Chains A and B, each alone.
Chain A
């Protein structure tokens, strides 16, 4: 399992650094820019208020832009789940299915490696990658504080929305993993999980201006993402709720992976019905 973890983690180093450094540099730039914005906040609030409310709904409460927390909410945390969600969907759907479709999983599992060992090793690598990526991004925000006079959030306060983002990454990563175990191809799993992500983002945004959506928005995973609001305190129920559902997806994906055939080209199929029945034993 350690060999599997090390191999999977080292394979995702490029992604961790690419995504992490990009987000970190953006954060560094954002935090530094806060001083300039703070001086012109009246004009900027006026500008934002001139935008259509449908558009602003996706960014939360724009008036709070005067505070560092509101500023980060608007400029980053409002759409960050969409960005890191894409990473999660791609990484989660490919966690096992990518190698399966390439045919390399066949050879790996012909070695004395249990399916559970492979699953856990890959899963830990995914979690470590998500934590690493978000930690690098957080570090960019924290580093940016050095050059800002008025940005007064502590590193600990800044870490809280990243924890909320981590829950989103794990939720969508595990959803994509489960779908990749059930659907015939990785691409299809990523597409479906991606659609859930985008739909969830829009439903949450539109529910802020449309009361008819208030009833269904509770079924949207991103409803439980706090974004910049987490700076003033992480909602434990929402955070652990997302993690609990991610854990459920993980268990279902593991159960499916344990029981099903390892596919090679042309063997994939729709497995929804089979999933609910115990497979025949020899």
Chain B
């Protein structure tokens, strides 16, 4: 079986609030999979269902070939998890916290590896948790998720609160974990980082996955912008009737900014009737695609 993680029609409600309304996901072994959505979309709820921290109302979940409700310990032994709202016992030092969490895994982590990780993300193992900044606490969270070299990493907003340099270091660690054979499922609303490291992404909106695609394909096939310059003022209203085309801005009849959803073929054919002097397209960022899902669907 190629899928490390699957969910089928996963549903979950908190009282009257439907957090998940039939989430379907398939995460392949060894890939980095980004899970995109704003706060409250259902990202954290989905991840917590995968570890049996909360019980779904319906649907099916398989993680590493196991049912998390029936074999929660086996799933958790092979997974590393970084919660979205990380809280650490502030009576510990960093090393004390990591050693305690490692003891819950039967002391599986290699302490030499832990020290190397700490060095790479510039974390003082002797510091007390109480004295750490939010960013440094997040580093402890990343370390505890990685230190036992899990087969599956479930990371809920892994770079939240980290400065750009450490963000890059963490993303590098995630890539290295993947190179070591791990599958990474991570949620984020920082789209640039998803774009940077995720091979595939799912976009979740109000408890439903509205898109699953390879990151590059999603960017390529989705919205584009086209700037068209005409040699003389023209009446470009005809362009607005084309399917998937929206005119975003016009200036004195000689220029137009167009948004195109899907293929460009129809627009290019329509433009053939106009005296075009310049035609420029730009690919949208993942952020723009993401927002488009929230505005149009």
Which residues of chain A have C-beta atoms less than 8 A from B15's C-beta?
Answer: 269
Given the interface pairs A110-B51, A267-B14, A269-B15, the reply to whether A11 lies near B100 with Cβ below 8 Å is no
Binary interface profile of A, 242-263, with partner B (CB < 8 Å = 1, else 0)?
0000000000000000011110
Q: Does B242 contact A (CB under 8 A)?
A: no
Q: Does A114 contact B (CB under 8 A)?
A: yes
Q: Are A107 and B59 touching (Cβ within 8 A)?
A: no
B54, B73, B89: the one contacting A112 at CB < 8 Å is B73
Query: Which B residues contact A (CB, under 8 angstroms)?
Result: 14-15, 44, 48, 51, 53-61, 67, 69, 72-74, 76-77, 79, 81, 83, 85-89, 91, 100-101, 103-106, 141, 144
Q: Does A281 contact B (CB under 8 A)?
A: yes
Q: Are A114 and B58 touching (Cβ within 8 A)?
A: no
Q: Are B14 and A269 touching (Cβ within 8 A)?
A: yes
Binary interface profile of A, 100-113, with partner B (CB < 8 Å = 1, else 0)?
00111011111111
Given the interface pairs A261-B54, A269-B14, A282-B55, the reply to whether A112 lies near B77 with Cβ below 8 Å is yes
- A2-43 residues with Cβ-Cβ distance < 8 A to B are 3-4, 7, 11
Nearest first, the 7 closest Cβ-Cβ pairs linking A and B are: A103-B87, A111-B104, A261-B54, A110-B81, A112-B77, A3-B103, A112-B73
Which residues of chain A have C-beta atoms less than 8 A from B61's C-beta?
Answer: 282
Q: How many pairs of residues, A versus B, come closer than 8 Å at their CB atoms?
A: 84
Which residues of chain A have C-beta atoms less than 8 A from B105's C-beta?
Answer: 111-112
Q: Are B85 and A264 touching (Cβ within 8 A)?
A: yes
Q: Are B87 and A107 touching (Cβ within 8 A)?
A: yes
Expressed in whole angstroms, the Cα–Cα distance for A260 and B48 within the complex equals 13
Per DSSP, chain A at the interface is: loop
- A44-65 residues with Cβ-Cβ distance < 8 A to B are none
Q: Does A279 contact B (CB under 8 A)?
A: yes
Which residues of chain A have C-beta atoms less than 8 A from B104's C-beta?
Answer: 3-4, 108, 111-113
Q: Which residue of A lies closest to B74 (CB)?
A: A112
Whole-angstrom distance between the Cβ of A52 and the nearest chain B Cβ: 47
Given the interface pairs A112-B76, A280-B57, the reply to whether A107 lies near B103 with Cβ below 8 Å is no
Whole-angstrom distance between the Cβ of A257 and the nearest chain B Cβ: 12
Which residues of chain A have C-beta atoms less than 8 A from B74's C-beta?
Answer: 112
Q: Are B69 and A282 touching (Cβ within 8 A)?
A: yes
Q: Are B89 and A282 touching (Cβ within 8 A)?
A: no
Whole-angstrom distance between the Cβ of B41 and the nearest chain A Cβ: 15
A11, A279, A282: the one contacting B67 at CB < 8 Å is A282
Q: Are A111 and B101 touching (Cβ within 8 A)?
A: yes
Q: Does A265 contact B (CB under 8 A)?
A: yes
29 A–B pairs (Cβ distance < 8 Å), ordered by A? A3-B103, A4-B104, A11-B91, A102-B87, A104-B87, A106-B53, A106-B85, A107-B81, A107-B87, A107-B88, A108-B101, A109-B76, A110-B79, A111-B101, A111-B104, A111-B105, A112-B74, A112-B104, A112-B105, A113-B73, A114-B73, A261-B53, A262-B53, A264-B85, A267-B14, A269-B15, A281-B55, A281-B69, A282-B56
Extra contacts, 7 of them, besides A106-B48, A282-B67 (Cβ < 8 A), are A107-B144, A109-B53, A109-B76, A112-B74, A112-B104, A279-B55, A280-B57
Whole-angstrom distance between the Cβ of A204 and the nearest chain B Cβ: 38
Most buried by B among A106, A108, A110, A113: A110
Which residues of chain B have C-beta atoms less than 8 A from A265's C-beta?
Answer: 85
Expressed in whole angstroms, the Cα–Cα distance for A143 and B33 within the complex equals 66
Expressed in whole angstroms, the Cα–Cα distance for A123 and B195 within the complex equals 47
Q: Are B87 and A110 touching (Cβ within 8 A)?
A: no
Which residues of chain A have C-beta atoms less than 8 A from B144's C-beta?
Answer: 107
Expressed in whole angstroms, the Cα–Cα distance for A109 and B55 within the complex equals 14
Given the interface pairs A110-B76, A282-B60, A282-B69, the reply to whether A103 lies near B101 with Cβ below 8 Å is no
Expressed in whole angstroms, the Cα–Cα distance for A11 and B100 within the complex equals 13
B53, B56, B89: the one contacting A104 at CB < 8 Å is B89
Expressed in whole angstroms, the Cα–Cα distance for A184 and B253 within the complex equals 63
Q: Are A103 and B100 touching (Cβ within 8 A)?
A: no
Q: Are B55 and A280 touching (Cβ within 8 A)?
A: yes
Whole-angstrom distance between the Cβ of A276 and the nearest chain B Cβ: 17
Expressed in whole angstroms, the Cα–Cα distance for A11 and B90 within the complex equals 11
Which residues of chain B have C-beta atoms less than 8 A from A3's C-beta?
Answer: 100, 103-104
Q: Are B72 and A114 touching (Cβ within 8 A)?
A: yes
